[in-house]
Structure 1
Amino acid sequence: MTQESRRLLVEAATALFAERGYRRTTFEDIAARSGVSRGSIPWHFGGKEGLLAAVVDDLVVRLAAAAGTLDPGTVDQVLGTLTAFTRAPSTGLFAKLMVEADDPGSPLRQVYVGLHDALRGQVRAWVTRLPLPDGVGGEELSTVLLGAVIGIHQQWRVAPEAVDLDRTYSTLAALLRSAGITAPTDR
């Protein structure tokens, strides 16, 4: 039951952090949502920051699993994965975390830095398999693409009626292709 309790706590915390934010979510809230005792949280995670780290790790692992199916993946496949990931309710957590992590003294800051590092690493793993045009570095392109995805995600979370994800990601794919950035299977 230990692994099951841990899973239930991570799922409940993911949903609650996305709905309410990290600071406004209590152990009592997580225990009530998960059906697992409040005392199990520090036992499994050491505290609220440890639980947040587990939530972020779980989301990154799920994204990595989705990205791993794109070997090497076309631009459209990668952007399709990003569209699905953007629509997932749990990714609302990223927008909430950014606001809370912006404060230099926030315990969330390092968690969010780690999240960005992990996501950039996922994008970089895809980008390094692409033939890039002269003057385009893989590290910099990874940062640009992640920035675009984060910006699209945040705009869509705030005003979903104003942002058509499918068309927006199709436009991003067209821009990549026009710059000569294509996966071998795009040709």
Structure 2
Amino acid sequence: MATRRMERTQESRRLLLTAAAGLFAEKGYRRTSFIDIADKAGISRGSIPWHFGNKLGLLEAVIDDQLQAVLGRFAEGRSDDPLDRVMAFVRLPAARLFITLLAEAVEAGSPIREHYARLHAALRHELRARIPAASLPAGTTPEAFAVVLVGAVIGLHAQWRVAPEAVDLDVVQATLRTLLPPGLNRAS
């Protein structure tokens, strides 16, 4: 009996996380209500504070959950090529959540700012590990190059989400590849 209750509790939590992630990606954090989340999840809205304390606790759980999913997918990627890795990130469904909430993350005192700092630091770390310093132009560090590459990808991701008909990700990736130092093209 206790095992079944635990399973229902975990399932309820998972449904709420999934519903909230979708709604936060679609509407943003501030415009999403407990009622919206509960309706989408098919669960009582009283379950949200029981599982997460409050809306901020739910947001933090969604971001942590999605961050782990993204980093897991990033780490298990089939390619060691830094550009392939970041472009694969852009195409992940969870990436829409991150771009939608980015505007809220840059506000002073934002409750999600530290989560974004962790996401960006993790992406930079993964890229730095795959960037051979010898392949970079003189005076360029893998750390600085990772910052530039993550920044470029965030910008193109935002453009693609706003006007997907105007941004062909395959063409953009091929263009970015021509701009990379030769040692980084298909880095291993």
Query: Same fold judged by TM-score > 0.5?
Result: yes
Instruction: Tell me if the contact between 1:41 and 1:51 (Cα under 8 Å) persists in the aligned partners.
Output: yes
2:58 maps to 51
**Residue 61 of structure 1: which of 65, 68, 81 is its match?**
68
Deviation at residue 17 of structure 1 after TM alignment? 0.4
Deviation at residue 80 of structure 1 after TM alignment? 4.2
TM normalised by structure 1 equals 0.82
SS at match of 2:11: helix
Deviation at residue 130 of structure 1 after TM alignment? 6.6
Instruction: Tell me if the contact between 1:130 and 1:183 (Cα under 8 Å) persists in the aligned partners.
Output: no
2:163 maps to 159
Provide closer, same or farther for how the CA distance between residues 123 and 42 of structure 1 changes in structure 2, counting only shifts above 3 A: farther
Equivalents in 1 of 2:102, 2:53: separation in Å?
23
Equivalents in 2 of 1:10, 1:112: separation in Å?
18
**Residue 142 of structure 1: which of 122, 143, 146 is its match?**
146
SS at match of 2:130: helix
Higher RCO, 1 or 2 (CA under 8 Å, sep at least 6)? Answer: 1
Map 1:110-129 onto structure 2 (within 5 A): 110-127=114-131
Deviation at residue 158 of structure 1 after TM alignment? 0.9
SS at match of 1:126: coil
Instruction: Tell me if the contact between 1:101 and 1:108 (Cα under 8 Å) persists in the aligned partners.
Output: yes
Instruction: Tell me if the contact between 1:85 and 1:91 (Cα under 8 Å) persists in the aligned partners.
Output: yes
Equivalents in 2 of 1:96, 1:158: separation in Å?
10
Deviation at residue 29 of structure 1 after TM alignment? 0.7
Render the CA deviation track for 1:88-124: whole Å, top value 9, x for unaligned.
4432222221222332133333333333333333333
Give percent identity, aligned residues only.
51
Structure 1, unmatched stretches of 5+, are: none
TM normalised by structure 2 equals 0.81
Provide closer, same or farther for how the CA distance between residues 100 and 148 of structure 1 changes in structure 2, counting only shifts above 3 A: same
Equivalents in 1 of 2:108, 2:149: separation in Å?
25
Structure 2, unmatched stretches of 5+, are: 1-7
Instruction: Tell me if the contact between 1:18 and 1:94 (Cα under 8 Å) persists in the aligned partners.
Output: yes
1:11 maps to 18
Number of matched pairs: 180
Instruction: Tell me if the contact between 2:127 and 2:146 (Cα under 8 Å) persists in the aligned partners.
Output: yes
1:181 maps to 184
Aligned Cα root-mean-square deviation (Å): 2.4
